[in-house]
Amino acid sequence: MLTINKTAEKSHITIALQGEVDASNSVELDEVIQEALDDNIKNILVDGTDLQYISSAGLGVFMSYLEDFNEHNILFIIYGLNEKVMNVFHILGLDQLITIIDSREEAEKLVHEA
Partner 1 sequence: MVKLPQIQRGKIYILLAVLSWMGLLLVNLIRVFGEINQMEGVISKEITWVLEILFFIWLYIYFNDSIKKNENRNFIDFIWRPASTGLIATGTSFLIIFFYYLLGDSRLSKDLLLMNFFYHVNFAVVSIFLISTTLSWKHLILYQKSKAIVQQWQAYEVILLISMFFVLISQASFNYGFMFGLIFLIIYGAILSINLKWIPYLTFREKWKSILFMVIIIACTVYLFFRLVSYTQQNIHFVNLSENLFLLGLFVFVLLYAVFSLLVTLFNLPTSSVFEQKLTEAISFQKLSQSIKPGENEEQVLDILMDSCMSAAYVDAGWLELHPSEPEESSKIQLQKFISNGERQEVLELLRKVEPFASYLTKRSGIKKEYLYGQIPHETYKSVLLLSVSVNKKSLGDIFLLKEVKDGFNKEMINIITTFVGQTSISIENHRLLNEAIKNERYREELEIAQRVQRSLLPSELHHNNSFEIDGFSAAADEVGGDYYETFRFDNENFALIIGDVSGKGTSAAFNMSQMKGVFHSLVQLNLSPKIFLSKANSALSRCLEKNNFITTTYYTINTSMKEIHFARAGHCPTLFYSQGKGCSRFLNIKGMGLGIVRNEGYENYLEEGYLKYQPGDVMVMYTDGIVEAKNQENQEFGYDKLRLLLDQYKALSAREIKSKIVDEVYDFVGRETLPDDDYSILVIKFNA
Binding site for partner 1 (CB under 8 A): 23, 30, 53, 55-57, 59-61, 63-64, 66-67, 84, 91-94, 96-97
To partner 1, the closest distance from the beta carbon of 57 in angstroms equals 5
Closest CA to 15 of 113, 88, 110, 107: 107
Q: CB-wise, 57 or 101, nearer to partner 1? A: 57
C-beta closer to partner 1: residue 22 or 106: 22
**Does an H or E element contain 21, and which?**
strand 13-21
What one-letter code names the amino acid at 63?
M
Nearer CB in complex with partner 1: 9/68: 68
Is the CB of residue 54 less than 8 Å from the CB of residue 21?
Answer: yes
In the bound complex, what is the minimum distance in angstroms from residue 109's beta carbon to partner 1?
26
Alpha carbons 1 and 20: distance in angstroms, whole number: 6
8 A C-beta contact, residue 29 and residue 66 = no
What is the smallest separation between the CB atom of 2 and partner 1, expressed in angstroms?
A: 14
